[in-house]
Each structure stands twice: as C-alpha cells, then as structure tokens.
Structure 1
C-alpha cells in the first residue's frame, strides 16, 4: 500500500474540505474550507482509530471519505458554535 505522505493528506483533505463546503452550503470561503478538510481528516482518522478501524490500511478512497466526513463534522460544529454566539 502506498503511503500518502504529508502532501497527499493536504491534497485529499483540501479536496474533501472544498466538497464538504458545497455539501454543507457553507459560506466560509475556499481557503477556510480546505483547512477544515485537513482538520476534519485528522479528527476523522483519530475518531475511527478510537473505535478500532484500521485507518492506515484503508487506501485513498477510505482516506477521502474520512476527510469528507470529518470536514462536514467540523463545519456542522462550527455552525452550532456560530449560532450560539450570534454569528
């Protein structure tokens, strides 16, 4: 299995963040959505590892879906926090 490396995670996380911004109808902008995708990939991978899923051996599609789900989660939490603070 080919390891993605740092730049691979940046690219996959960025693409997932951009798509998550479209799915969640988010108005944060492209750069922030890319950052959310990268953070979402880290969070998604961490949460899956906690429940016993082999995240290292999942492959590129599994990594993309993990980043996408994590980015949607980050955007959703950001929307909840923004609603509580009145933004």
Structure 2
C-alpha cells in the first residue's frame, strides 16, 4: 500500500472490502473483506503503476483503490463460481 503502514492497510482494506461487499450485495465475512480490500488494492496499484506510472496515495486514495479492486475480485469470483 502506498504511503500508509501495515496497520493502516488492514484498516483501510477492511473498510474497502466491507464497502465492496455492500455495493456488490455479497456476503463474505470480515476476514474475507480485509483480504479482498488489501489484495484488490495491491493488484490495482500494480496495474495503475504499469499503465499510468503512478497511483493514488494516502488513506482516501487507497480506500478508493481497495474498493474498486475488491469489487473486481468479487466479480471475478462470481464468474468463476458460476462456471464451476
């Protein structure tokens, strides 16, 4: 996570995952929310660094990135589960 520590990354990841869970009308649980928020933020930050060359920093920027990334991961999980 850019510009925030690990403790803050867990908090921001949990909030981002929870917001994505509510937005996507999913039922994952608190641990999965944290994981989705953090992993989503890491993956989307990597994509942004590759494409744009920079990423959003700070709490709000990482919350936005984590939310979008978690929504993408939830959509991917739904697509994979739908085909299995």
2:45 aligned with 1:28: no
Structure 2 match to 1:65: 64
2:76 is paired with a residue whose SS is: helix
Distance 2:83 2:59 in 1: 36
CA RMSD of aligned residues (A): 1.4
Structure 1 consecutive aligned stretches of length 4 or more whose deviation exceeds 4 Å? none
SS of the aligned residue for 1:42 comes to: helix
Q: Distance in 2 between matches of 1:27 and 1:52?
A: 33
Give the distance between the partners of 1:53 and 1:8, measured in 2 at CA. 24
Instruction: With the length of structure 2 as denominator, give the TM-score of the two structures.
Output: 0.87
Paired residues, number:
82
User: Structure 1: any 5+ residue segments left out of the alignment?
Assistant: none
Q: What residue ranges of structure 2 are gaps of 5+ in the alignment?
A: none
